[in-house]
Structure 1
């Protein structure tokens, strides 16, 4: 289906995702399955007062496209049965794969996985939060640093059958102050790769052109300035930073 059809053809609702904190619906546009989040169904947040969550979701997709890594599924703004909102192409993840997991500490994998933190579950057992050590997930971690993602939960990562990893639910992004909360801390202190640095450069350069013009319709000037500053700082340090002291480093709940 063409971009014009996705924008203009009828959006039909088929169900509602009740576990979401904001109004979130499953739907279809022709034969394309989509997720639809109407702006009128958003819950106001005290720490994200500027703009709306739908705009941030679309801005995250635009940055993903500038990086060239396909982290975020195709996402756009359009009218729908409940008014204007964010629409995103549905991605059917592989039920036999999981990029992030919470496992019993004594059974935590040692090869191909990164250990993030350890704690106790509600039964007093020691558990470890782990995520896979893959280039696809590293790119998502870099993306989260750039967009200042405050809510990278384990279930916000979709493991596809072909090894691709999609990130979804990007309403809590682009805050002008540091808000990064993520389960992807496994590469802390490691140097960024040439590909990752090149992606950051693409975003920085894009902010001077088409990407900057696109984001100006979705974010505040301060948020765009902060985005540029994060890119510059990350490019200068050229490694995965540590979380600052005094604030949560992971979202809650983790999944």
Structure 2
């Protein structure tokens, strides 16, 4: 998917034109994981909806390669659920052909893939917020999506549920599905191959997540700090270790990498 000089302008009765996106140019390759971060009003959710075809581009264009099928999961876990049971919800997204038994087996496999371990006749209304987001992910897979847009899908979840959803998305990504991950949580950026930072509808950073958190030679602070965002706990720990004189060649960006760094320091 390619954004080419995309502008999205909304009409406002008070201030006239409001620019939600200002000349955004970005390329999202097949199989990639791009995280988009920014404060409220920065344009990140507008970018998500534009990528999903839910908004009208004022100028510029959004191009999709042949065979790219995009689906979006929204912030509120309940906003997209229409089935009464887990089986019904996922089945609604499956192709019409195939036997009933075959469909049931496929639903079981999709639920296993996202880590939702509940009986098929479970009422959707009884699921937790995290389970509902896992169900939404399973429905995307049932529809054959190979480019999934996730618009702050962990923002209404508790830490344990956020971890389960992130694990599910990592498994989906490893299977070759492209991920566009919209978030306001810097600690979630380390799972992505690449970070786009948004400010006032514009892309103000486009690069590797590691560089986003750690200053390069000659830089005064990291891009994350220069944009006024809080560093994740993992990065704060590493920066403190470096100030104490420890050399950490491969700077970690999430907890499992930090665990290995600490283990190596303890053994050295």
TM-score band by shorter chain is: 0.3 to 0.5
The answer to which structure has the higher helix fraction is 2
Larger Rg: 2
Higher relative contact order (CA 8 A, sep 6+): 2
